[in-house]
Copies of this chain bind each other. A is one copy, B any other.
Amino acid sequence: MALVVQKYGGSSVESAERIRRVAERIVETKKAGNDVVVVVSAMGDTTDELLDLASQVCPSPPARELDMLLTSGERISSALVAMAISSLGAQARSFTGSQAGVITTSAHGKAKIIDVTPGRVRAALDQGSIVLVAGFQGVSQDSKDVTTLGRGGSDTTAVALAAALDADVCEIYSDVDGVYTADPRIAPNAQKLDRVSFEEMLEMAACGTKVLGLRCVEYARRYHVKVHVRSSYTDNQGTYVYGSMEDIPVEEAILTGVAHDRSEAKVTVVGLSDQPGYAARVFRAVADADINIDMVLQNISKVETGKTDITFTLPKTDGPLAVEKLTKLQEEIGFSNIVYDDHIGKVSLVGAGMKSHPGVTATFCEALAEAGINIDLISTSEIRISVLCRDTELDEAVRALHEAFDLGGDEEAVVHAGTGR
């Protein structure tokens, strides 16, 4: 008997009506002869509403209490889905992340899954129940407090459960059809991909593709969980994410898609000493503020001044804090000034195929140049090329690359106003 893990995002369960439809799909999956475990996000905007309520009673809520509060959302939706399933005549039991054995670190708001011990889930499945698990949460190994997992936490919960239960597939349902060669709202002839390797999906997630979170894909890769990204509004097959790109025969390796990202900002530390150690002090200052840096460029120093500039990108939401921290250390570290630019866009080409196809970088740059787009910063990996450009030119850059590498199909993509939730 196959075991299927499904995950439904917030918009898929945003109302009583949607919950009933999701319940029908779940029961069909069970009737087809599968054991079914379903991870559920909170209904629609519940999490935002709870955050708003919290801000009304406390400007800076303690992280532990925020987790106690927010986890109510998934508890409510998983119980409701269980009820809807039972009204269709099937058995269902809901569990919190803690009850389902999702063990995490103690970092409230961004906990990481350490282990999954799904004993109660397995027992309920063996009794013939469909099992609902509240997503986005677990329990701290040390303090036994309830924790939330940060953005994309429900996807990670689903993949982690699939790994622990040795599931045949982990279906991630949202309001988008699958993974596309580019965002169909920008490149209307984008095609839905049938399959993407783990490494390629990791790159796409890191480069702005929202449909699956980075941690979720990392987890799937480590534990070899087959992920199927699908729409909860149709029965269409979506995109399978599994397998290593190493297993793709060289001649079949292709360029997978174009990703874009508007969420970053750029910081340039100007006139930094060129001596060893100074760049490190800049990065340490930023890291101490718990800020992740993405792309880095150190310009060639001017011999006559012995000074150089360092440029890096980071999430826009962390921009002001990073500037503040560095400014405080200006005298101590020693630099002229900081330039902050939050009107950048990042566009990336991802594909296992570029390993074996020289000239991809050249074609990439030519395509952007022909479109009149200035490249600000370039960064590459074995299977990815990313550049920064003006955010106003980002859509054009996506289309130029999508065209240059012939990624489009003949038909217009079916476009939902999807958020990927």
- A58-88 to B contact mask, C-beta < 8 Å, 1/0: 1111101110110110011011111110110
Q: Which of B19, B58, B72, B92 contacts A72 (CB 8 A)?
A: B72
- A79-106 to B contact mask, C-beta < 8 Å, 1/0: 1111110110000111000010000000
Q: How far is the CB of A9 from chain B (nearest CB, A)?
A: 18
Question: B residues within 8 A CB of A83?
Answer: 54, 57-58, 61-62, 65-66, 69
Q: How far is the CB of A118 from chain B (nearest CB, A)?
A: 15
Q: How many copies does the complex hold?
A: 2
Cα(A144)–Cα(B60), bound, Å: 34
A53 contacts B by Cβ under 8 Å:
yes
Question: B residues within 8 A CB of A120?
Answer: 144
A50 contacts B by Cβ under 8 Å:
yes
Q: Which of B50, B61, B64, B92 contacts A93 (CB 8 A)?
A: B64
Asked if B79 contacts A59 (CB within 8 A), the reply is no
Cα(A83)–Cα(B59), bound, Å: 9
**Contact residues of A between 21 and 73, Cβ < 8 Å to B:** 23, 50, 53-54, 56-62, 64-66, 68-69, 71-72
Asked if A68 contacts B53 (CB within 8 A), the reply is no
A316 contacts B by Cβ under 8 Å:
no
A16 contacts B by Cβ under 8 Å:
yes
Asked if A69 contacts B64 (CB within 8 A), the reply is no
Contact flag A57-B94 (CB < 8 Å), given A65-B79, A69-B83, A76-B72: no
Asked if A16 contacts B57 (CB within 8 A), the reply is yes
A20 contacts B by Cβ under 8 Å:
yes
Question: B residues within 8 A CB of A64?
Answer: 93
Known pairs A19-B57, A54-B83, A69-B76; list 15 more (Cβ under 8 Å). A16-B56, A23-B57, A53-B76, A58-B83, A58-B87, A59-B87, A62-B83, A65-B79, A65-B83, A65-B86, A68-B79, A69-B83, A72-B75, A72-B76, A99-B144
3 interchain residue pairs of minimum CB distance: A16-B56, A58-B83, A69-B79
Complex A-B: 7 CB contacts under 8 Å: A16-B56, A57-B81, A57-B87, A58-B87, A65-B86, A65-B92, A99-B144
